[in-house]
Amino acid sequence: MNAHTLPHVVILGAGFGGLTAAKKLKNAPVRITLIDKNNYHLFQPLLYQVAIAALVPSQVAFPVRTIFRSQKNLTFQMGEVNEINLDEKFVKLDGSVIAYDHLIVAAGGRMNFFGVESVEKNALYIKNIESAIRTRNHLLSMFERATREADADKRRAMLTFAIVGGGPTGVEVAGALAELISHVMRKEYPELDVREARVLLLEAGDALIASYPDELRKATLRLLQKKNVEVMFNARLTDFNGQKIFLADGTEIETNTLIWTAGVQTAEVVESLNAARAGSGRVRTETTLQLPNHPEVYIVGDAAYLEDENHQPLPMLSTVAIQQGNVAADNIRHAIKGQSQHPFRYKDPGLLATIGRNAAVARIWGLSFSGFIAWLIWVGLHIYRIIGFRNRLVVMINWAWDYFFYDNQARLITRY
Amino acid sequence: MNAHTLPHVVILGAGFGGLTAAKKLKNAPVRITLIDKNNYHLFQPLLYQVAIAALVPSQVAFPVRTIFRSQKNLTFQMGEVNEINLDEKFVKLDGSVIAYDHLIVAAGGRMNFFGVESVEKNALYIKNIESAIRTRNHLLSMFERATREADADKRRAMLTFAIVGGGPTGVEVAGALAELISHVMRKEYPELDVREARVLLLEAGDALIASYPDELRKATLRLLQKKNVEVMFNARLTDFNGQKIFLADGTEIETNTLIWTAGVQTAEVVESLNAARAGSGRVRTETTLQLPNHPEVYIVGDAAYLEDENHQPLPMLSTVAIQQGNVAADNIRHAIKGQSQHPFRYKDPGLLATIGRNAAVARIWGLSFSGFIAWLIWVGLHIYRIIGFRNRLVVMINWAWDYFFYDNQARLITRY
């Protein structure tokens, strides 16, 4: 069979969902075009470590072309898809038309500021390499500026760091930032009294990591407090002007730093799809991940809305995206062979969140862990997962060294 | 003696000169304030490797505060010095006044485009982390764009890379870029015919690395040509509009890429000094490195103009800056003790330039080396020098691995 007569699978997005689907189709009788606006796959679970200067971008981002060097049925295209034409079966990539036989929409998510413009304008967030680097530069600059600030109130505002959102990301950022301050900044800024520095974690509800069992929520709170993170519950943000946070209950917090971790919505290109929606712009798919009325289109990852057996929405997590990427790829194989489509069922591998070094909370095999054991599980799992991309002993050693000894050299303030 | 009654040494610049002087004054009876506009020391000799995606910024930039963690008589300040007041003995740092008893001006250099505005506007260069990253993003983007360009002429222009300046930097960039194309891009862009790609090295004179002995100039040319670099002599640039290079002899070269390596001038703050000048804005100092009429001010590195015993200007190289930093620090000690000032004499440690992997030219102990042996000397020397900053085995292994196997993951296109 001539290669050009093979069915053409277009995959939008080289995140966890798209990457998994593309790999799974390696030996399938298809031509694959994988499209992403970046030339790299981003290992999102460790991105927050770029923001707190523990890792550098090349440790969490891997060039797509390198990953697929040996996969002959795949072409990579870097660019922005601005249109999906479901009826005529093509996507538009920076103006050029790419026709598809099967389409996998794995375009991921972007921050959701819920329409609060002042926050969107003034807050930091950690969703891509650029915003993570911007956060890093800002955090480090605050310390440099504080060394030159004689006014004690202004200095305290510079050294007050507010993180909004008590989900896993917010918890991880707060814990890691508190440790950066107490372990590293204390040594590197002898002219500052770093006890002036505060890390605040603002949660609108009354619990951290709301989807975890109660004992883990409590353990998380305890571990954060031990690291001197001040957790504020029922803290509903109304405004942030870059100098001050305003809460619904009238509280004002003087700070130059707000890191927003409180919401994700689907990518813009997904919003343009004519389809039924759930919250955050997610598309309601068939259980087979197909778009209703368009069986040749599969939606995976953050963009897809499905519920588990308890009628809870599946979370926007890499584990969901990976499993869905596999199922979408399998279903394309089935479709080509004229076989029936299989439904997607999420196998929950557990939940994990670190709270700085040596501390984490984990829920695995129906068991809850917290503290050092959970942290060891977290380290092992992430090294295992990241090795899948790099497979290089030296990188693992380097990464582990940096992580264990907090001795890495990522604390650069760059002017990008 | 109370610390505040100790003489205050202000050092402008944490490059090779300033850093060396600051370290040398570690146990001297002085207070030191080290000022740099960045929070890191940049290892300039390897910066071009960031531009060709072989190393990442944190491998060539080291936070100043980490370097001086254990030096108690030093305070670091990050900021821009916009004024040096020689008569009243203070510098202005972002508006605040810092008085000094002794001043070391080690502010380094910046690119010199010799007033050709179109080049300044459209050319790439490699002088700091930001411009190196911009160069990397541009080079990698050209390959991505070329994969989508159907017009053969436009595609060839995207894959034509011109480097201007046949000095050590130009030679190193040209050699490394040619290798990146033939070793890496060939594998990662199977849809491109990378034989279409050209690397041009444009030199206005009639020799490469003009300050080297004749046998090394010839070896350099031979090694570059072996790597398919097209060297053009007597190529005098008159204009570059981002699409086309115009040479004085009427030649036009269609290319989207011009990397300018052909000139350095002193930093802006040095230009504001009221002092006698040589070329490139360099300040004519006493042989003791003191500024005439201001014995408490020392000029070191790129900013200082001195001649060797053959009346040739000392080059703007890290080796000169390091030796001068040591002498300036010693002379401050002498001044404090009321002893006489020592003149600076440059001990030429030789010259070294790499031409891609496995090839270099070197001039050491009066001997010329070229090819693999020179390259081994280069690798050994740079690992030795960089280890002085990081002193970490793992980093060295990682760096060597990346360098030897061309397998690093620095090929990210970022949107900074």
Round to the nearest angstrom and report the end-to-end CA distance of chain A.
Answer: 49
Binary contact (B395, A394; C-beta < 8 A): no
Q: A71 CB contacts (<8 Å, ≥6 apart)? A: A22, A23, A26, A32
Q: What is the CATH number of the domain that holds A209?
A: 3.50.50.100
Residue A60 confidence (pLDDT): 85
Mean per-residue pLDDT, B86-111: 95
Judge whether B172 counts as a catalytic residue: yes
Task: Assess whether A71 and A155 both reside in one domain.
Answer: no
The DSSP secondary structure of A8-77, one letter per residue, reads: EEEEE--SHHHHHHHHHTTTSSSEEEEEESSSEEE-GGGHHHHHTTSS-HHHHEEEHHHHTTT-TTEEEE
Catalytic residues of A: 172
Is the same domain home to B168 and B134? yes
Write out pLDDT tens, residues B353-393. Answer: 888 777 888 888 888 888 888 888 887 777 777 655 554 55
* Contact (Cβ atoms closer than 8 angstroms) between residue B22 and residue B11: yes
- Interface mutation target, options B394, B401, B402, B407, chain A, most CBs of A under 10 Å: B394
Residues B209 and B294 in one domain: no
DSSP A192-212: S-GGG-EEEEE-SSSSSSTTS
Residue A400 lies in a domain: no
Residue A364 lies in a domain: no
Q: Last residue of a domain, which of A304, A337, A370? A: A337
Q: Which residues contact B269 (CB under 8 A, 6 or more apart)?
A: B12, B81, B82, B83, B84, B105, B107
Q: In chain B, what residues touch A61 (CB-CB under 8 Å)?
A: 409, 412
Residue B416 lies in a domain: no
Neighbours of B406 (CB within 10 A): 14
Nearest in space to B198 (alpha carbons), one of B162, B242, B152: B162
pLDDT of residue B404: 62
Q: Summarize the confidence of residues B325-339 as an average pLDDT.
A: 98
Domain boundary (A277, A309, A337) is at A337
Residues B87 and B182 in one domain: no
pLDDT tens, residue by residue, A22-66? 999 999 999 999 999 999 999 898 899 899 988 888 888 889 998
The whole-number pLDDT of residue B408 equals 55
Query: What separation in angstroms does the CA of B141 have from each of A117, B381, B408?
Result: 33, 33, 18
Same domain, B194 and B141: yes
Residues B138 and B210 in one domain: yes
Instruction: Look up the pTM and report it.
Output: 0.91
Say how many residues make up chain A.
416
- Answer whether residue A365 is part of any domain: no
Chain A closest CA to B40's CA: distance in Å?
6
Confirm if A148 and B79 have CB atoms less than 8 A apart.
Answer: yes
Collect contacts of A90-94 with beta carbons under 8 A, ≥24 apart: A91/A10, A91/A12, A91/A35, A93/A35, A94/B148
Task: Report residue B1's pLDDT band, with 50, 70 and 90 as the boundaries.
Answer: very low
pLDDT class for B141, splitting at 50, 70, 90?
Answer: very high
Q: Is the pLDDT of residue A237 over 50?
A: yes
Residue A1's pLDDT is what?
Answer: 47
Domain shared by B175 and B69, yes or no: no
If asked whether residues B43 and B156 sit together in one domain, one would say: no
pLDDT for the residue numbered A4: 65
The verdict on B93 and B123 lying in the same domain is no
How many residues does this entry show for chain B?
416
At B388 the pLDDT is: 58
Q: Is A416 domain-assigned? A: no
Nearest Cα residue in chain A from B96 = A148
Interface test with A, best of B36, B55, B65, B128 (most A CBs within 10 A): B65
Tell me: do B303 and B317 sit in the same domain. Answer: yes
CA angle B403, B409, B411 (to 5 degrees): 100
Identify the domain boundary among A210, A231, A262: A262
* Whether residue B281 sits in one domain with residue B181: no
Cβ count within 10 A of residue B355: 30
| DSSP secondary structure string for all residues of B236-256 | -EEEE-SSEEEETTS-EEE-S
The parent domain of residue B107 ranges over 3-111+264-337
Mean pLDDT (whole number) for A246-271: 95
Average pLDDT over residues B86-106: 96
Phi, psi of A330 (to 5 degrees): -60, -45
* Count of domains for chain B: 2
**Residue (of B376, B410, B414) closest to B52 by Cα position:** B410
B86 pLDDT more than 50? yes
User: Would an 8 Å CB–CB cutoff place B405 in contact with chain A?
Assistant: no
The neighbour count for residue B367, using CB atoms within 10 Å, is 9
Does residue A380 belong to any structural domain of this protein? no
pLDDT digits (tens, 9 = 90+) for B179-221: 999 988 998 999 999 889 999 999 999 999 987 889 889 999 9
Q: How confident is the model at residue A415 (pLDDT cuts 50, 70, 90)?
A: confident
Q: How confident is the model at residue A74 (pLDDT cuts 50, 70, 90)?
A: very high
ipTM (interface predicted TM): 0.89
Query: In sequence order, what DSSP letters do the residues of A224-258 get, joined into one string?
Result: HHHTTEEEESS--EEEE-SSEEEETTS-EEE-SEE
DSSP symbol at B350: -
Q: How far apart are CA B59 and CA A133, in angstroms?
A: 16
Same domain, yes or no: A94 and A218: no
Cβ–Cβ contact B409 with A under 8 A = yes
Half-sphere CA count of A370, side-chain side, radius 13 A:
14
In a domain? residue A194: yes
- Looking at residue A220, what is its pLDDT? 93
* Count of C-beta atoms within a 10 Å radius of residue A181: 23
Is residue A364 left, alpha or beta, with left meaning phi > 0 and alpha meaning psi from -120 to 50?
beta
Q: Check which CATH number belongs to the domain holding A300 and give it.
A: 3.50.50.60
Find, among B318, B312, B342, B316, the residue nearest to B329 by Cα: B342
A129 phi/psi in degrees, rounded to 5: -55, -45
Is the residue at A406 inside a domain? Answer: no
- Nearest by CB to A412, which of B61, B397, B410? B61
Most confident of A138-147, B56-65, B211-220, B394-403: A138-147
Res B245: pLDDT: 97
